[in-house]
Amino acid sequence: MQIPIENIYFLLCYAWNKLEEKNQVAVSVDGITKLPDLFAKILINSTKILLKRGIDKNYNSRIEEMAGIKGKIAVSETLKRNLLAKQHTVCSFDELSINTLPNRILVTTIFKLIKFAELDNALKSELIKLYRMLSNIELIDISDSLFLKTRLNRNNRFYGFALNVCKIIHEYILPSEKPGEYNFADFTRDERKMNQLFEEFIRNFYTIEQKKYPVVKREIIHWNFDSIIEANLMFLPQMKTDITLENDSIKIIIDTKYYRETMVVNYGKEIIKPENLYQLFSYLLNQQDGTMKTQNATGILLYPTIENEYNLNYTFNQHQILIRTVNLNSPWENISERLLEILNF
């Protein structure tokens, strides 16, 4: 499924809940056809803003041998090295530094991005300039755990957008055949990753862009099963919706599915994937708690597409079951209108 770069950018901004930063970074995607170029522009613009605002600083603990005293003397180490005769000490002290974890991740990613074989040369030149400006920041071996250790606060939360880009580059970076160069594996071909991205995009889009349903959440649904042996119930799998929207009188359960092909072909005929219907049907039956809202809940299977649109309507008892698609190959305004229209049934 080939999605235009501009729409991938919007998907990421909504999925990461970084619309504020997106507007500040103001990346133009005109003429960009490759993901590395898009990510390079984001990091270039983000880094320029950080330099203008003042990059993150923090106090780092240091232990150092020196003439005189600074901070707290490490007595045992000073005596062990017999430094007092030379009027030297080993001291521990805190030093305000730009060598923070977010800065090190950012600079390391810029360094690796420069090594991307297919990166646009003009963007590569800008990255090189920024890397030289930040040469006092040490490189770091990036791992998934590093991003979990990164703590953003009110003062450095702007880093969130750039660090999300750094994380996705880290996840999909590949060594090139040429030593010292890298390639980028197109994550849009990773169906698992895109399914997660599509779900988070839809949930955050509805959280931000519509007001009819004040509750937008993931919901845990418990099976309406009984058992003589209560301990048996613990073996039932957990049901968790992708998106549940609610107001005082209406409830909607949306199950998002990302596939290269929306339908499957069975004996020469296009049909909805059976397992998707089973899952949504199970949600609708088991979420019923006796209230009118749950008795009349609507279920929607929502698929992305770049070709055919589907609008299929079914009913089961009081439940509406809708099959809808959104064309990710259309202009962003059309995508937005389509998603809002889906809630008006």
Percent of the chain with pLDDT over 70: 96
Asked whether 272 and 310 are in contact (CB, 8 A), the reply is: no
b/e per residue, 91-122, with b = 16+ CB within 10 A?
beeeeebbbbbbbbbbbbbbebbbbbeebbee
Task: Tell me the average pLDDT of the chain.
Answer: 90
Three-state DSSP at 217 gives: strand
- What is the per-residue pLDDT for 23? 66
The domain tally of the chain equals 3
Backbone angles phi, psi at 102, to 5 degrees: -60, -40
Same domain, residue pair 43 and 180: yes
Same domain, residue pair 19 and 120: yes
Decide if pLDDT at 128 tops 90. yes
For the ranges 101-110, 185-194, 216-225, which has the lowest average pLDDT? 185-194
- What is the per-residue pLDDT for 54? 84
Same domain, residue pair 47 and 181: yes
Decide if pLDDT at 28 tops 70. no
- What is the per-residue pLDDT for 169? 92
Same domain, residue pair 218 and 173: no
Same domain, residue pair 93 and 229: no
Asked whether 113 and 142 are in contact (CB, 8 A), the reply is: no
Same domain, residue pair 314 and 244: yes
CATH number at residue 264: 3.40.1350
Confirm whether pTM is higher than 0.85. Answer: no
Same domain, residue pair 134 and 240: no
Same domain, residue pair 75 and 105: no
Taking the C-alpha atoms of residue 185 and residue 46, their distance in angstroms, rounded to an integer, is 23
Same domain, residue pair 13 and 149: yes
Same domain, residue pair 203 and 173: no
Same domain, residue pair 174 and 306: no
Domain boundary among 159, 187, 215: 187
Taking the C-alpha atoms of residue 175 and residue 181, their distance in angstroms, rounded to an integer, is 6
Domain boundary among 69, 97, 125: 97
Decide if pLDDT at 53 tops 90. no
> pLDDT by residue (tens digit) across 137-191?
999 999 989 998 888 887 788 888 889 999 999 999 888 778 888 888 888 889 9
Decide if pLDDT at 30 tops 90. no
Domain carrying residue 43 = 5-56+99-187
> pLDDT by residue (tens digit) across 245-300?
999 999 999 999 998 888 888 888 889 999 999 999 999 999 999 999 999 999 99
Decide if pLDDT at 27 tops 80. no
Average the pLDDT over 315-340 and give the result: 95
Residue 53 makes CB contacts below 8 A (sequence gap 6+) with 158
Three-state DSSP at 322 gives: strand
Taking the C-alpha atoms of residue 109 and residue 105, their distance in angstroms, rounded to an integer, is 6
- What is the per-residue pLDDT for 60? 76
Total length of the chain? 345
Plot region of 31 (φ>0 → left; ψ -120 to 50 → alpha; else → beta): left
Same domain, residue pair 205 and 337: yes
- What is the per-residue pLDDT for 22? 67
- What is the per-residue pLDDT for 4? 87
Domain boundary among 134, 160, 187: 187
Decide if pLDDT at 25 tops 70. no
Average the pLDDT over 8-36 and give the result: 79
